[in-house]
Amino acid sequence: MGSTASAQNGTWRNWGGNVSARPAREVTPASAEELAAAVRKAAEDGLKVKAVGTGHSFTSIAATDGVLIRPQLLTGIRALDRDAMTVTVEAGTPLKRLNAALAREGLSLTNMGDIMEQTVSGATSTGTHGTGRESASIAAQIKGLELVTADGSVLTCSERENPEVFAAARIGLGALGIVTAITFAVEPVFLLTAREEPMGFDRVLAEFDQLWAENEHFEFYWFPHTGNTNTKRNNRSAGPEQPVGRLAGWFEDEFLSNGVFQVANWVGRAVPATIPAIARISSRALSARTYTDIPYKVFTSPRRVRFVEMEYAVPREALADTLRELKAMVDRSGLRVSFPVEVRTAPADDITLSTASGRDSAYVAVHMFRGTPYQRYFTAAESIFTAHEGRPHWGKIHTRDAEYFAGVYPRFAEFTALRDRLDPQRLFQNDYLRRVLGA
């Protein structure tokens, strides 16, 4: 199954390889009606139900020993409304198929994350986001949702219809029902000019507020064990289109960012002492470049080197302190970290359990190469993030529980009350939801 999660001999595994489950059965429905029937049958049989996308979550949010719903037949564009400027897609549609289909129609999403392997419902239900000064997560671009609830009925919601469900279900964690279709706001396709350039760690933090204010989409990567970062700013452009050349693109995105990086990680895993030296070289290998292309070709890039990840949203004004503490911790700890730390931003939004709910946010993501011990690094990073009232990404590794979330999400009780109403029997429950939402 290539880059997606795999199931062998009845065992389901996620992309990162750190979560596995053995469902009692798998169902691949071809319509909302078939999915609703599968949900009713599971309830009769006393089995829990979970839908799984491509398995790009590092948490066990999709794991179940009950009925696993696979959405690969629920794909494609259902409707395109040029007057309302919306597109309605089936929940199992991969983002890359949506992006390509919209581009053919001269349309685009406003903002997106940095990969596009995931299904639209998997990405939105866990709060997947890119970076943006005004434009927020993929879920924040949702205009309407269709979901199958625990009683087997099909519920539609929007700002006007079932607005309290709409407020929560855009990032619903799979707890409120199984999403079958999503309506996104779209706009005429546009060009982005990306400017990537190295910048010192201290300078990027000193100038962060200005870099954030002057660019529609600003992000940077800091290489642990160095004082180096690579910055990326994406801004709308009048053109002309100047894509990355095929050879340069292959060299920078495939050879350096995936091929050499994979080998460097193998070396680092075998001989951790080499990691700081590798980090110094790789943080300098990426030279400055500028290119102009349509959004999905600028926002997203292939990520073939497998890893595990933790990401927290902290209040945007707490970013510099958070990163300085993270750097001091790595320098002090004797840890060997071969993956760069990724920093992005999002404006406050109005989605109940969005990591940016009600506050302007900065995201700090820490990664470890798949197969290397990550607990010590992630635990130390997490204690820094939580000291700043951080909110973990729902699809990435963290150790927080419902008690913690009730403290950092002002509307947490609103979400759990809605879940009590829509799924009183906890048909969509699993261990992860029991931990993060409470029993």
pLDDT band at 2 (very low <50, low <70, confident <90, very high): very low
* Residue 157 to residue 180: CA distance in whole angstroms: 12
Closest of 168, 14, 59 to residue 392, by C-alpha: 59
Q: What is the mean pLDDT of residues 207-236?
A: 96
pLDDT, tens digit, for every residue of 51-104?
999 999 999 999 999 999 999 999 999 999 999 999 999 999 999 999 999 999
pLDDT band at 23 (very low <50, low <70, confident <90, very high): very high
Residue identified by tokens 């009692």 is: 24
Torsion 17-18-22-26 (CA) sign: negative
Q: What is the mean pLDDT of residues 381-401?
A: 98
What are the residues whose beta carbons fall under 8 Å from the beta carbon of 2, sequence distance 6 or more?
Answer: none
* Residue 229 to residue 370: CA distance in whole angstroms: 23
**3-state SS assignment for residue 312:** strand
**C-alpha distance from residue 70 to each of 1, 38, 118, 433 (Å):** 13, 11, 13, 19
pLDDT, tens digit, for every residue of 138-158?
999 999 999 999 999 999 999
Residue 131 has pLDDT above 50, yes or no: yes
Length of the chain in terms of residues written: 439
Q: Which two tokens stand for residue 180?
A: 């079958």
pTM for the complete prediction?
A: 0.94
**C-alpha distance from residue 177 to each of 153, 310, 414 (Å):** 10, 26, 16
Q: What is the mean pLDDT of residues 330-338?
A: 93
**Quick check: 144 and 183 in contact, CB under 8 A?**
yes
**3-state SS assignment for residue 6:** strand
Mean per-residue pLDDT over the chain, rounded: 93
Closest of 190, 218, 195, 187 to residue 293, by C-alpha: 190
The pLDDT assigned to 4 comes to 47
Q: What is the mean pLDDT of residues 263-279?
A: 77
